[in-house]
Chains A and B, each alone.
Chain A
Amino acid sequence: MNRYCKAALTGMLLLSMLGTAGCGSGSQTPAHTITVICKSQDSYWDATKLGAQDAGEEMNLNVIYEAPEREDSAEQYRMISEAISAGTDAIVLAPVEPDAFNDVLQQATAAGIPVLTIDSDVSYADRASCISTQNVSAAAIAGRYAVSLLEDGDTVGIISHAVSSQTAQERTSGFIGEVMGTSSNTPGDAPKEGGDAPQPQEGEGGGEAQPEGGDQPAEGGGENADQPADGSLPIPDAPAARALPEGSASGFKLLQPVDCGGDTVVSRDSAMQMIRDNPDLDLIYATNQPGTAGVCEAVATMIADGEIEAGQIKVVGFDYFGDSYGTNAYTYVTSGVLNGVIAQNPYNMGYLGVRYAEKLVNSEDVAATVDTGAALITADNINDDDIQWLVDPTHK
């Protein structure tokens, strides 16, 4: 009897303790699986991955993150196809090309799997939502900032990364629109690839009317698609696009954009050549991360070499960068070489991509397009908490 009593009482105590002390955070089985496929394993996408994983953790989702080693549409196609076969509940895709996935995305839709895009869009009509930086808007921010740095008659150069790329076109047109005072682009007006994006060409006395016309460059396989094999400066064939707007209110002189294929070295060399060829050059705008890094390196080198004075050439860039380019953007900004750089919000793309995917799985409505915005980072705000978090989301 005593033995049974002890056993029973011990059982009660343990049961009671379990009920009171335990009951900790019981991990629940993830409700849904969300597959996130990014463009490459470049460090830029680390923030997107982190955002997607944070959303998965917060919403109890199984987030599968995948990305090709390098931007590769075939590899992305395979990943999408495998995700559909594996029975994923939703796909969040950062497409390297807008038209390469229509058939496989059609399969996803047929299987009841919602598809969202992040960073850039696809031409597939039934994608549920696109969460990205509106490149035209972001470039317009850069343009407005450039204007604030310029005086009438100043000369502006553009280091582009691929004239055939929709991204490059939007970032160029958005910038030029603001600088030349003709911006009418709003997020809803962003031109689609293959549309008539402005393609200014070099011309003395900016604002001079040029005939519009010429073939739109063929689409490439990503931002670096048209990089020349021989390393020469890939100046686009003129006339490549319609002329700079006539009657620019600014009176700024705009040089023909130089396509550097998204290569840092080419961008650096092109910027140096541009500065040497145009003694009156006042500002260079770079349309992507390698271009910005290359321009900064060129300006810093020429200042160091005494070719130009500090502050003579102002630089406005796109996409903040870390130590992978030797000198990071923080150093260039705080030293005055890089006056301002546009930073996208890849973390929010990943986070909102997964968040919206879960909403779609639960048959909730989501916006067809979401502009995650862009921040202009300058020496004035680079140490602010929100900017520090933006450039390094792992910074708590």
Chain B
Amino acid sequence: MNLSEKLRTFISGKHTGNINTDGHAEDKDHYPVMEKILEATMVNTPLGEHFVVEKTYKSCYMHGEIKLDSVFNISPEILKLIAKNSVFESLDFSRAVFIDTETTGLAGGTGTLAFLIGVGFFEGNDFKITQYFISDYDEEAAALYSLSGLLKNFDSMVSFNGKSFDIPLLSTRYMLNRIENPLEKTFHLDLLACARRLYRERLESVSLSSLETNLLSLEREGDIPGYEIPSVYFKFLRDKNPYPIKPIFYHNRMDILSMVTLTVNMAKSFKAPFDSRNCANQDYYCLGRVFEDMRMFEQSIKCYQKALNVSGVRKRSYTQLSLLYKRLDHWQEAESLWIDMAKSNINTIFALVELAKYYEHKLKDYDKAAQITQKALETVYKKRTLVGYSLKDEIAELKKRLERIKRKREKHQSQSIIEEAY
């Protein structure tokens, strides 16, 4: 057996005599067809050639019922909320790129290539998408070089899941090609995190396609499912037939356009949360959390209040709102909420314990505090009978609390007696 035969039996366990009939990699005959079919241009760089596809969307272009340039109407305050981080108030969309890559796999690691890098940005009010395409591995350095050149004109990035996927992957590619990485210093807004914060309760999935269908009223035509992309590209590498990869370019552009639309949509949710076109149901709990974290308590309270009757987030909204009242020293509101909770059996033990704390520490009404703690204890016992598992810690804690309150009550009573005696 020669080495190849051995290899074949060793590796594949078959004698296929598989002769490699793939087109020779160095052939450039397909270039003209590619330029035509993909509407691509060959670009020369000091590091070699690569293809680029450019598309411009006029300022009136609508994507998902939204005009792209309406991102410019997003105020700094709203940007802070979208990012849940006040540094982002200075994000300037005229100096930002929307970036998305198509790769040879999702596994990550050094063996995954970003073969199509799409970058969307505004030129005036027009939106332009430049797609750097690597029609074979040896064009990578050239494409990365061009991307670096373009990024010099911008100081921010917007992505969807770019923080954990696209950007580390591109950073790896820059390092492997020994080119300075232009992505590290840039300001990066990852919309996946923002969208998850806002819509995770209402939507089962916050993938871009789910957001498009459920939120942005978008439908794609002639798209390719993401999981098919690597194999379609590998096939292209072998046969250089540009037709099957055309949808990948479309897919990439749609992703970028949807990022713009999604940003605008999120801005609306924060700007006019009570407009039913912008937000619904479980969103209010999520909005409440963001507003609370950003210390916009008035809005937060309004959102939580709206979420109190939404199934799925009801318990958490009650709990969160009551704690917010407590934090803001709105004790009466907090108390009435806790009473409601105890009555309607929403996170009852929590509510009772909070009430007990309130009566004990705030009102120093030890009778009431003891009474409520006793009730909490009974509830736990009842729960134990129902669920059948031990709630030792909870019981011990409540007992401890009850004893402390009783001690305080006695001390207080004896003190009052002494005072009265005087």
Q: Is A bound to B? A: no
A residues engaging B (CB < 8 A)? none
B residues engaging A (CB < 8 A)? none
